[in-house]
Chains A and B, each alone.
Chain A
Amino acid sequence: GESVGLHLPTLSVQEGDNSIINCAYSNSASDYFIWYKQESGKGPQFIIDIRSNMDKRQGQRVTVLLNKTVKHLSLQIAATQPGDSAVYFCAEKITQGGSEKLVFGKGTKLTVNP
């Protein structure tokens, strides 16, 4: 079945440290993965994405790694800042017969301590 899960529900880091948020997925048909950031009272915001034909993609201070062998996705945030405190969701896009669905994990709450 489809499931996207996160290994840790909460993560607390010191300002300036690097953060790593992990995600496991189970659907081998997934062809596109996205990380979202959700601040309190707001909708999810796109952070970075990666297609299934890639294993790494970098953005500004963020890197997403995809390991298809073990169906694992991670988000790395460099030099974590207080403004990075939020809930982070991974999502997998499943495309079947022209229809697509975005399935979300339960989220990891990141707290950055000053």
Chain B
Amino acid sequence: NAGVTQTPKFQVLKTGQSMTLQCAQDMNHEYMSWYRQDPGMGLRLIHYSVGAGITDQGEVPNGYNVSRSTTEDFPLRLLSAAPSQTSVYFCASSRRTARNGYTFGSGTRLTVV
């Protein structure tokens, strides 16, 4: 099993550009979520999904869209990137009754200039 795979690892965008951060897991986990990590802010929940076809907003959803068409994939879309979205993004997944917490990907470092 590869676990949680995030691509790309690094990305630089210009203000106003759009892009999609990819997240895939091969553990058949029902739950998937996206977090952003900023210095001194810990990890903040952007969006999450309890299963295919179901998504919901977290603490900081503005400026981001998600979809969950399959169990394996949970892409995060930035429609019009802003400098405030410069951050490290982590995708995580877990079983419905998580006994070992969430499994995190290795992160995507995004810079918006």
Chain A positions near chain B (C-beta within 8 angstroms): 32, 34, 36, 42-46, 49, 89, 91, 93, 98-107
Question: Which residues on the B side are within 8 Å of A106 (C-beta)?
Answer: 40-42
Min CB–CB distance B109 → chain A (angstroms): 9
B43 at the interface (CB under 8 A from A): yes
B79 at the interface (CB under 8 A from A): no
Instruction: Pick the contact of A91: B59, B101, B103 (CB < 8 A).
Output: B101
Instruction: Pick the contact of B45: A32, A43, A89, A102 (CB < 8 A).
Output: A102
Chain B positions near chain A (C-beta within 8 angstroms): 4, 31, 33, 35, 40-45, 48, 50, 56, 58-59, 90, 92, 98-107
Tell me whether A98 and B101 are in contact (CB under 8 A). Answer: no
Min CB–CB distance B108 → chain A (angstroms): 10
**Chain B residue at smallest Cβ distance from A45:** B104
Min CB–CB distance A48 → chain B (angstroms): 9
**Chain B residue at smallest Cβ distance from A43:** B104
Min CB–CB distance B66 → chain A (angstroms): 14
With the chains together, A46 CA to B99 CA distance in Å?
A: 11
The A-B contact count (CB < 8 A) is: 56
Tell me whether B101 and A101 are in contact (CB under 8 A). Answer: no
Tell me whether B100 and A49 are in contact (CB under 8 A). Answer: yes
**Chain B residue at smallest Cβ distance from A35:** B101
Question: Which residues on the B side are within 8 Å of A91 (C-beta)?
Answer: 43, 101
Question: Which residues on the A side are within 8 Å of B50 (C-beta)?
Answer: 98-100
**Chain B residue at smallest Cβ distance from A33:** B101
With the chains together, A45 CA to B107 CA distance in Å?
A: 12
Instruction: Pick the contact of B90: A32, A43, A46 (CB < 8 A).
Output: A43
* Given A43-B107, A44-B90: A102 touches B102 (CB 8 Å cut-off): yes
Tell me whether A36 and B101 are in contact (CB under 8 A). Answer: yes
Instruction: Pick the contact of B99: A49, A102, A104 (CB < 8 A).
Output: A49
With the chains together, A27 CA to B26 CA distance in Å?
A: 32
Question: Which residues on the B side are within 8 Å of A93 (C-beta)?
Answer: 98
With the chains together, A7 CA to B90 CA distance in Å?
A: 25
Question: Which residues on the A side are within 8 Å of B43 (C-beta)?
Answer: 44, 89, 91, 104
With the chains together, A34 CA to B92 CA distance in Å?
A: 14
